[in-house]
Structure 1
Amino acid sequence: MTNSDINRYKDKAFQIFGIFCTLIGLVVLAVFLIDIAIDGISRIDWDFLTSLPSRRASSAGIYTAWAGTLWILVLTAVIAFPLGVGAAVYLEEYSRKTKLANFLEINIANLAGVPSIIYGLLGLEIFVRQMRLGGSLLAGALTLSLLILPIIIVTTRESIKAVPRSVRDGSYALGASKWQTIWNQVLPASFGGILTGIILALSRAVGEAAPLIVIGALAYVPFAPTTPLDEFTVLPIQIFNWTSRPQEAFLTNAAGAIIVLLCITFLLNGIAVYLRLRQQKKVKW
């Protein structure tokens, strides 16, 4: 048996092993989703979506939780979008390839893998204590913005890199400046990938509970927030609160809230996939 035959068998073995692991993961995920659906689908109705939290499981709802989640999602996007895209454009188009730039690039990539609770501790010290924002929506959005900024920067840079050099050269040949080329050619051409990365980053932020608990988000809020400085709760914290209760009825409520949270996450991921496919059809180099 030759070395090429051995390598071929190894490749097939790895492929079979990968397929097997994927199937196992899909089965586990399917069992989890089916179990959640069986427990929680009967609990989801209009009253459940529009009712305030309550000590009685039968009358408890998730209105304040999903309202807080929507606020956090919008504020985080408003803060992280310009900062992340701006930083990526600078690092990719303007920054010189020095040792400092390489150091920053490596650390930005590493920050994407830092546990989320570390960002919670950072947000607690900077936004809650130093800036005196307390456990407000704004403090939570700023903390989650720190969490997803590395992801946005990395994905935006990769999208900008995918734009061919010929697009830039053609723009320069027509007399456009560097900024005009970036604004009118590079960013529109890479916008699909940029938006996909931002939506996927927000999908991660919407499911986070640890950093928000650290900065002081409440488990019980009897009112929906109306300003960025209001106290708040979110769906992951509400789910955590209900699953810690001994009554079985609260576990049913938690299952219903999980279904709502999964719907939000799947919707965001579906939008990201649609935008990527649409951009791939629209732009052909």
Structure 2
Amino acid sequence: MSGRKRISDVFAYILIGICCVISVSVLIGIIAYVFIKGIGVVDWSFLSSVTSVLNGTVGIAGNIVNTIIAVVLTLLISAPVGICGAIYLNEYAKPGKIVSAIEFATETLSGIPSIIFGMFGMVFFVEGLHMGYSLLAGSLTLSLMVLPLITRNTQEALKTVPDSYRQGAIGLGSTKLYMIVKILIPSAMQGIVTGVILAVGRVVGESAVLLFTAGSAKLLPNDIKQLLLKPFQSGGTLTVQMYLSATSEGDFDTAFGIAVVLLIIVLCINFLTKLLTRLFNKSTRTV
């Protein structure tokens, strides 16, 4: 290697290192600032009660329940549709204009701003289908938003499975459905789970869609009946409440406290993704 190439390599290495340091520093700075501003607000009362002027309490328990309901409903709707759609596109559909059109539509959906999904959900689900502001309307809208993410991740995961698995199963007399359920899906489970977890992270951090469709109620269900009826009622998630606390109510302490809770949830989701990836890698190597 010439001296010029060595100098350029060293310069590129230093430049990449500087970019990495800047990225990590910005992340650490944001996390540290949010934690310093909001960690003093977070305690058991803050997590287990609701805001009440009469009782003099400030809490986000109702918002936590609403967030969990929104995540569960969204996954129940989008995960089966996205996974089955990816299986059809990758295993059944013949390459052509129809498949290209579906993939193009999926990629276009993934690039649409969330505020547009929110406006569509308000017009179609809230007003058109007369659902009103409810967690169900918000979850249906969120399902449309995360569907491309789950579909594309599942499709790419299925593409990584060697064709020899398919040919061997069919050659041994297996049906195509049995081969997909027993061989392809377990082999691609790492990518499928990663896509679902990423979808959960996007749902947890979404606010624009839910402001237009789910409303901002923060009441905590008192019994099982109220909990079962909650999807059909208005409900504000953690991100919605954080936005309202910082803008409409001017309560920045509560907003930063919610931000701390959201950061912890997002970090846990990322660590869970890494953990599951390692577990699936170990199981694959063992097999």
TM-score relative to the length of structure 1: 0.91
Q: Distance in 1 between matches of 2:53 and 2:19?
A: 42
Q: Distance in 1 between matches of 2:123 and 2:87?
A: 29
The alpha-carbon deviation at position 62 of structure 1 amounts to: 0.4
Query: Pairwise mapping of residues 101-180 of structure 1 onto structure 2 (< 5 A)?
Result: 101-180=99-178
Select the residue among 238, 242, 245 that pairs with 2:245.
242
The alpha-carbon deviation at position 54 of structure 1 amounts to: 3.5
Select the residue among 94, 97, 105 that pairs with 1:96.
94
Q: Distance in 2 between matches of 1:61 and 1:50?
A: 7
Deviation per residue, 1:176-221 (Å, 9 max, x gap)? 0111111110001111210111101110111000111122511x43
Cα–Cα, structure 1 residues 86 and 12, in superposed 2: closer, same or farther, change >3 Å? Answer: farther
The alpha-carbon deviation at position 57 of structure 1 amounts to: 11
Deviates more, 1:260-269 or 1:88-97: 260-269
**1:185 counterpart letter in structure 2:** I
Deviation per residue, 1:9-60 (Å, 9 max, x gap)? 5555444333322211211221221121122212111111111124599721
Deviation per residue, 1:70-103 (Å, 9 max, x gap)? 1101111111110000100000001111112112
Query: Pairwise mapping of residues 197-208 of structure 1 onto structure 2 (< 5 A)?
Result: 197-208=195-206
**2:242 counterpart letter in structure 1:** I
Q: Distance in 1 between matches of 2:211 and 2:8?
A: 47
Cα–Cα, structure 1 residues 216 and 204, in superposed 2: closer, same or farther, change >3 Å? Answer: closer
Deviates more, 1:82-91 or 1:34-43: 34-43
Q: Distance in 1 between matches of 2:249 and 2:66?
A: 25
Q: Distance in 1 between matches of 2:11 and 2:280?
A: 36
2:219 aligned with 1:222: yes
Q: Distance in 1 between matches of 2:116 and 2:199?
A: 17
Contact 1:69 1:235 (8 Å CA) reproduced: yes
Unaligned runs of 5+ in 1: none
Contact 2:245 2:255 (8 Å CA) reproduced: yes
Q: Distance in 1 between matches of 2:14 and 2:54?
A: 51
**2:145 counterpart letter in structure 1:** L
Q: Distance in 1 between matches of 2:109 and 2:7?
A: 38
Q: Distance in 2 between matches of 1:204 and 1:155?
A: 14
- What RMSD in Å do the two structures reach over aligned CA positions? 2.2
The alpha-carbon deviation at position 278 of structure 1 amounts to: 0.9
**Equivalence for 1:49:** 47
Q: How many residues align?
A: 280
The alpha-carbon deviation at position 222 of structure 1 amounts to: 3.4
**Equivalence for 2:270:** 269
Deviates more, 1:75-84 or 1:22-31: 22-31
Percent of pairs with identical residues: 34
**1:97 counterpart letter in structure 2:** P
**Equivalence for 2:280:** 279
Q: Distance in 2 between matches of 1:12 and 1:152?
A: 40
Cα–Cα, structure 1 residues 178 and 48, in superposed 2: closer, same or farther, change >3 Å? Answer: same
The alpha-carbon deviation at position 119 of structure 1 amounts to: 1.1
Query: Pairwise mapping of residues 25-36 of structure 1 onto structure 2 (< 5 A)?
Result: 25-36=23-34
**Equivalence for 1:22:** 20
Contact 1:57 1:253 (8 Å CA) reproduced: no
The alpha-carbon deviation at position 230 of structure 1 amounts to: 1.6
